Amino acid sequence: MAFNTLVSTAELAAHLGEWRIFDCRHDLAQPDLGERQYREAHIPGALFAHLDRDLSGPKSGKNGRHPLPAPDIFGAWLATQGVRNSDQVVCYDAANGAMAARLWWLLRWVGHDAVAVLDGGMARWTSEGRPVSAAAPQPSPTQFSVRLRPEMSVPVDAIAKSLRSRVLLDARAPARYRGEQEPIDPVAGRIPGALNRFNMDNVRANGQFKRAEELRAAFEQVLGSHAPSEVVSYCGSGVAACHNLLAMEVAGLSGAKLFAGSWSEWLADPARPREKG
């Protein structure tokens, strides 16, 4: 049985040594923090995936803060990490899955469906007294075949050309969506016409995802009659947006797409319209 959305700590514990595990802990304000935490203690057998180095491509100054990696380069990185097309992969982060969801989405993008996020992350794992390790595995390189699904991602030019016909879903906090605050990007606001679903509303206080039926009701309240396949998810840089896409999958609302460049790419061109309020 393949897991393709969430996996519990008990399920992961039962398959240690069998599944490929990635630690995706990351702090946008301290980009090296997650890797330091990994070196101190991680789930046994886990490898580290760095958001900036491994899960993003080169920045041009106009393609956003976390552009997508080239599919062949990402596939080659997976091969160096010992990932095979037949493997079950589990991604985790500190707790809520917002960082881990980026790797979850990328693997699906290159055609790997057997990938799930650890529900509750490292926080839940350690709170249950489960084992941790400081040993960094040395995987044997493998062959990983990329089967790209380009339709999962929508480029900025396509968004701009069909702006009024798109159902854009902004995953940022309401104050950032309204343009009242902008702690990261140089300009506050949103893409015109976008709806808002704060990705942290997908989880409970302990970092575990809410029940599928609860998530479904919440997304349907925001999206109204729009089908999931009409939805394009974005955020500040294409990370939190993946968390909303994961939550939609958990809720049984499949088919939404990602605008990976998100707000940080959109605002790089001052000619693109912006909205506040």
Residues annotated as catalytic (active site), given as ranges: 235
What is the dihedral sign for C-alpha 256, 261, 263, 265? negative
Contact assessment for residue 82 and residue 141, using Cβ atoms and an 8 Å cutoff: yes
Could you tell me the two tokens for 76? Answer: 């080659």
Between CA 230 and CA 168 the distance in angstroms is 9
Q: Which of 272, 271, 269 lies closest to 64 in space, CA to CA?
A: 269
Between CA 189 and CA 184 the distance in angstroms is 12
Between CA 7 and CA 26 the distance in angstroms is 20
Contact assessment for residue 276 and residue 179, using Cβ atoms and an 8 Å cutoff: yes
Between CA 143 and CA 141 the distance in angstroms is 7
What backbone torsions phi and psi does residue 117 show, to the nearest 5 degrees? Answer: -100, 135
